[in-house]
Each structure stands twice: as C-alpha cells, then as structure tokens.
Amino acid sequence: MTAPDGRAPRVLVVDDQTLIRTGFRLILTARGIDVVGEAADGAEAVARARELKPDVVLMDIRMPVMDGLEATRLILREAPDCRVLILTTFDLDRYVYTALSLGASGFLLKDVTPEHLAAAVRLIDTGDALLAPSITRRLVERFASGVARSPTVPADLSALTPRELEVLALLGRGLSNTELAAELTLSEATVKSHVARIFAKLTLRDRAQAVVLAYETGLVRPGGASTGGASVR
C-alpha cells in the first residue's frame, strides 16, 4: 500500500538512540519507504519536520532537550496533516494516552517486527490509526480512569444518531471496520459511512482521536460499560 497519490510515505525517524534510528531507516528503506531524515531529540524533530515536511513521524517519547510529547504538539500545530506514530518500549507507557490526546495517530512497541513497522507506517499515511483493541483497552483503563465521566451522553455528541453513538463507543474499544461490521451485523461499506459521518460531525481526523473522545466524554468507561448502547467487553 502506498500513499493515496501513489507515492511512498516520507518518514522522519526520531529517537535519541543512533542504533534504533539506523535500524528503522534500514528496515523502512528496504521496503520502499522514503526516510527523509532523522532527529535525536524533540527540538531537532520539530526543526526537521518544519524543514522536510514528512508525511509520517516515528516519534520516541523519552528524549533529552525536548521530549516527544512536546515535539508532537508543536509538529501537529504547524502541520496538522502530518501523522505521528509514537514509539514506546512497552505497551502501557504512561505517556502514550497523552500523546494520543495531543493528536498522535497511534503507537508501536520498539520491538516491532520489520514487516509490522513498514505496514504501520503505510497504514498511518493513509489516514487510519494504529490502535490494537487489547492494547487500547489496557492503556485507557490504566491511565484514563481519572477522566471525568457523565452518566448521560454529553451535549457535544448530540449531533450523532443513536447508531453513530453506538459506532463511536465501539471505536473507543479500538475495533476495526471489519470487527464493527461483525459486532453490529452491518456491511463494511455501511460501517465506513457511519465512521465518516462521525468524523465529519465531530471534526475528528482519525480513529485515535475517536478513541480519546469516546473516553474523555464518558461514552465509554474504562473497565466498564458504555453509555452509548454498546457493551464493552
């Protein structure tokens, strides 16, 4: 899969460890992905992103000078169409939820296989989000439990139909379109239409933002039931 216009994704690799940057560059280049630059800290990442205008940034979190969270915020403020894919050493990194809230499109473990890394970059570049359901659920249950939740659907979701609220609740669990279709007994085409309308009504750019919104508004509750009509397993 290539970018929507047929070209390979242009990637900026950000990590304070030279070996990791070099390894990722070799993996991605060998699979036809254009690595346009590297950065060793967040401040350098912001400068390089401004200069190179990458499609995707592979972003480490814990770095000197400026961490990956602040770098993500600054990069996406200047280039909202850029996609940031967070790199973490373990799947319950306490910073990942914050990164998603800042606009990151997903996260990967640093021990990811070469094939998965390349596939993830291509997926993110198409505008989708990389959020495995099991990791998403565990992440949010651990780090979003302090989010204020209401027993009723918040006013800012009032534009959604009951079916769209149900779809958003399932998106909050990290379900793919195929899984949504199976859960709701709908065709994938119908599910895609529902998702597109949700994104348009709530001005969301990808599934990562949908997951964050579902939890922050209380539509889905960490470790409990949803308030939008869908059960959370």
Identity at 110, one-letter amino acid code: K
94 and 185: one domain?
Answer: no
17 and 99: one domain?
Answer: yes
181 and 120: one domain?
Answer: no
* pLDDT reported for residue 227: 47
For residue 194, give its domain range: 149-216
* pLDDT reported for residue 10: 95
Q: What is the CATH number of the domain that holds 49?
A: 3.40.50.2300
- Into how many domains does the chain fold? 2
**Interatomic CA distance for residues 208 and 130, integer angstroms:** 8
- Per-residue HEC secondary structure of the chain comes to CCCCCCCCCEEEEECCCHHHHHHHHHHHHHCCCEEEEEECCHHHHHHHHHHHCCCEEEEECCCCCCCHHHHHHHHHHHCCCCEEEEEECCCCCCCHHHHHHCCCCEEEECCCCHHHHHHHHHHHHCCCCECCHHHHHHHHHHHCCCCCCCCCCCHHHCCCCHHHHHHHHHHCCCCCHHHHHHHHCCCHHHHHHHHHHHHHHHCCCCHHHHHHHHHHCCCECCCCCECCCCCCC
Q: Would residue 143 count as lying in a domain?
A: no
Q: How far is CA 171 from the centre of its chain?
A: 12
96 and 196: one domain?
Answer: no
Q: How far is CA 167 from the centre of its chain?
A: 18
160 and 60: one domain?
Answer: no
**Interatomic CA distance for residues 80 and 73, integer angstroms:** 10
Question: Tokens 């998702």, residue?
Answer: 195
* pLDDT reported for residue 233: 31
Q: Would residue 91 count as lying in a domain?
A: yes
Nearest-CA neighbor of 108 among 125, 126, 94, 96? 96
Q: Would residue 228 count as lying in a domain?
A: no
* Tally of CB atoms within 10 A around 15: 25
Q: What is the CATH number of the domain that holds 200?
A: 1.10.10.10
31 and 107: one domain?
Answer: yes
Phi, psi angle pair for 74, to nearest 5°: -70, -40
The tens-digit pLDDT sequence of the chain (233 residues) is 445 456 789 999 999 999 999 999 999 999 999 999 999 999 999 999 999 999 999 999 889 999 999 999 999 999 988 999 988 776 555 676 777 778 888 888 888 889 988 988 988 887 766 665 555 666 556 555 554 444 444 557 888 899 999 999 888 877 778 888 899 998 988 988 998 899 888 888 777 778 778 877 877 765 544 444 433 33
Q: Would residue 1 count as lying in a domain?
A: no
